[in-house]
Structure 1
Amino acid sequence: MKKNEGLSEQVYNYLLFQILSNELKPGEKIAEAKIAQEFNTSRTPIREAMRKLESQGLIQIFPKRYAQVATFSEKEIQDIGMIRISLDILSIKLVAINGSKAELLNLKSIAVQCLDAFRNNDGVQRRKLDSDFHKELCRISKNNLLFNMQEDLSLKIQFILMHNDFKSVNDEQHLYQHIQIVDSLIEGNIEHALQLDIQHLSEFYCLDIDSPIEFFLKNA
């Protein structure tokens, strides 16, 4: 059992890298036999790894048929955007109460690194750090359930960032908004931080909502 658990984790990491580096593309079938041969293993640990990836939304399993890399519709992407904004709003409010100056400076460092990765054309690192920024915002809210919900979205978001061309935003300006959000938090301007974050994500996910700031903050 322990050997299988170790192999399952190895296969999981292998497939995750293949998916997030675009070696495996959306809708592409996963060749179980080839992976089994490469790892010199039965299909049991491979299927365990695939079930984990399915639970994270990165692959789709069709029992007794095949598994393939996931695809996301425009509606599904917008649904993720709605949830992400809601999580960030609560995170920002809690960070204002529970976050320390040191934690906010670390959050700003992640934002700066993300922008640097974009400027250096490092797409993999840019996507990871973009996701890490919002996860860290949740983490310093000191609400573990909130963090777990954001972490659950993290890999889906990296995947979506890779495979969708968000022409509605200027990438550099979009990533610079991370820095502006943190600066507002450091200054204690929570309302401005909330407005920036809502604008940041609603534009990115092309949410079909009139006055998104009012929509998300009314009665919030």
Structure 2
Amino acid sequence: MANKPTALKTLADLKQVQHTLAETRAREAAAAAARAAAEQKRLAERDLFSRAIGATQPLRRPAAVPLSPEPPAPIPVQHQLDEQRVLRESLSDEFDVTTLLDVDDAMSFRRPGISTEITRKLRAGEWSIQRQLDLHGMRSDEARDALGNFIRTAHKHGMRCVRVVHGKGLGSPGKQPVLKTKTQRWLIQKNEVLAFVQAKPAEGGAGALVVLLAPVGR
């Protein structure tokens, strides 16, 4: 009879241990179930788009050839040089203008078919001067090229009346108006020039010419 209480206490302890183990297993099973459910949900969300649209096939990429960028347009250097050479050759320093100039109270030039009324109006300032070129300080070849380019560009843009300042030649050796004479020769050789007159005193006088250009297309 002395050992009976000890046996009862041991049995109670055993049951408590069994109960504790059962609770632990239940918690572990619940945690495992929760993890499985979370993984299943993650997989379902990942495949949601695929299930929604069904089976797919990759798009075929069309054949393409890589194109090189278009090279910049070449600079027409040779063409520019040819134009300059033709310009120099077309304006002769030896051209005789003495029979073409009207030497009255003020020197003037007019092509055949251009009336003296035109040169009178030029001299009177009835044509508005639209552009001016100053040849002061240029060498002969520089002045020739500059004048040719100036007349060609002004005519191309539809200008009718321009002024060319060549100076009076007072600073030249022997005080001879070399550039003045050459400018007259060059202008007469330009087909765009219809007439020119000596500028009025207030606009350059003997050191400048007022030039009338032909209309565009003529």
**Per the shorter chain, which TM-score range?**
under 0.3
Query: Which structure shows the bigger proportion of residues in strand conformation?
Result: 2
Q: Which has the larger radius of gyration?
A: 2
TM value normalised by structure 2: 0.23
TM-score, length of structure 1 as denominator length: 0.23
